[in-house]
Amino acid sequence: MAIAVALVLVAVGTVAFHFLSPWWWTEIASNWGYIDDTIVITFWVTGVVFIGVVLFMAYCAYRYRYQKGRRAEYRPENTKLEWWLTGLTAAGVVVMLTPGLFVWKQFVTVPEGAAEVEVLGQQWQWSFRYPGKDGVLGTSDTRNIDDDNPFGLNRNDPNGRDDLLIEGDDLHLPIDRPVKVLLRSIDVLHDFYVPEFRAKMDMVPGAVTYFWLTPIRTGRFDILCFELCGVGHYTMRGNVVVEEESDFQAWLQEQTTFAQSLAEAGTGAGDGLILVSREGEAVTAESGLTLPDSSQ
Ligand SMILES: [Cu+2]
């Protein structure tokens, strides 16, 4: 009897905790409300099953409790019951998984015209790269990485010269514009996660993974690494600032291009590498100092 009461209390207490708990999702800041919806569906299905199983156990513990002289009944097969249980389990799995397939389709279908931004993960910090005014990220390779070129950009790729490099600062995104986030790691597995965006993705050395989102709320949010990536994993934090388009553009104008950072390091044209502009002309370190034209 005591066991049966304890089981009923477990079921009731769990449901009460679920609805009264102060620990719930942070307010969403992206278009991925669908991801919340699929989790809520999973909560409902697993919740109904959990309550059903626990209450059934309570019933059995009470109904078939020990009584002197009572004998156990041996019933090895019940085909009808097994069909019912198989059918209900299959239905529960279908209800849980089907919405996820639709959400996944959207998740991997990047809208046309989405802006691109690259996130670079390394033990144990985040860096970011924007494509600059040509709208194209230059090619990169971890073999190019050195003190003057921490992103490993290809110095001979004209598309990379105007790329804006953000180190030791926040990631900025404009509100209401779809953005494709390209993810690169230069050492071990990391995972770029902003809880308010819901979406997250592993970063795999040697590959470029991605996801996309549309920020729907301005604010400053934490970036977490969601993959245990070494002893400093817990310090791998950053911030993303979602702001109005005009604030974003103003911030963008203040950032340093790859060409500028090379020129400042004195390695722009002086080490035998020739920088080539889009038109195919050699570019000097001087012209690399020109700021991107904000009127374009
Ligand atoms: Cu990490």
How does pLDDT run across 125-172, given as a tens digit for each residue? 999 999 988 888 888 888 888 877 888 888 888 887 888 888 888 999
pLDDT (0 to 100) of residue 265: 74
Q: How far is the CA of 251 from the centre of ligand 1 (A)?
A: 26
User: Are the C-beta atoms of residues 124 and 232 closer than 8 Å to each other?
Assistant: yes
Q: How far is the CA of 207 from the centre of ligand 1 (A)?
A: 15
CA gap 126, 193 in Å, rounded: 11
Q: How far is the CA of 278 from the centre of ligand 1 (A)?
A: 35
First CA to last CA distance, the chain: 78
Q: How far is the CA of 233 from the centre of ligand 1 (A)?
A: 5
pLDDT (0 to 100) of residue 12: 94
Q: Residue 269: which residues within 8 A CB-CB, separation 6 or more?
A: 275, 282, 283, 284, 285, 288
Structure tokens at 60: 């059995």
Q: Classify burial at 21, counting beta carbons within 10 Å of its beta carbon; exposed 0-12, middle 13-18, buried 19 or more.
A: exposed
Q: How far is the CA of 225 from the centre of ligand 1 (A)?
A: 5
pLDDT (0 to 100) of residue 267: 56
> What DSSP character marks residue 130?
E
Q: How far is the CA of 253 from the centre of ligand 1 (A)?
A: 29
pLDDT (0 to 100) of residue 9: 95
pLDDT (0 to 100) of residue 289: 39
Q: How far is the CA of 193 from the centre of ligand 1 (A)?
A: 10
CA gap 191, 181 in Å, rounded: 12
CA gap 267, 272 in Å, rounded: 9
Q: How far is the CA of 204 from the centre of ligand 1 (A)?
A: 11
| Residue 87: φ, ψ to 5° | -65, -45
Spell out the per-residue pLDDT of the chain, length 296, in tens.
Answer: 889 999 999 999 999 999 899 888 889 999 999 999 999 999 999 999 999 999 999 999 999 888 898 888 888 899 999 999 999 999 999 999 999 899 999 998 999 989 999 999 999 999 999 998 888 888 888 888 887 788 888 888 888 788 888 888 899 999 999 999 999 999 899 999 999 999 899 999 989 999 999 999 999 999 999 999 999 999 999 999 999 999 998 988 888 888 788 777 765 444 444 444 444 444 444 443 333 444 44
CA angle 276, 278, 284 (to 5 degrees): 35
State the pTM of this model.
Answer: 0.75
User: Are the C-beta atoms of residues 258 and 252 closer than 8 Å to each other?
Assistant: no
Nearest to 239 by CA among 223, 215, 219, 251: 223
Q: How far is the CA of 29 from the centre of ligand 1 (A)?
A: 23
CA gap 165, 161 in Å, rounded: 10
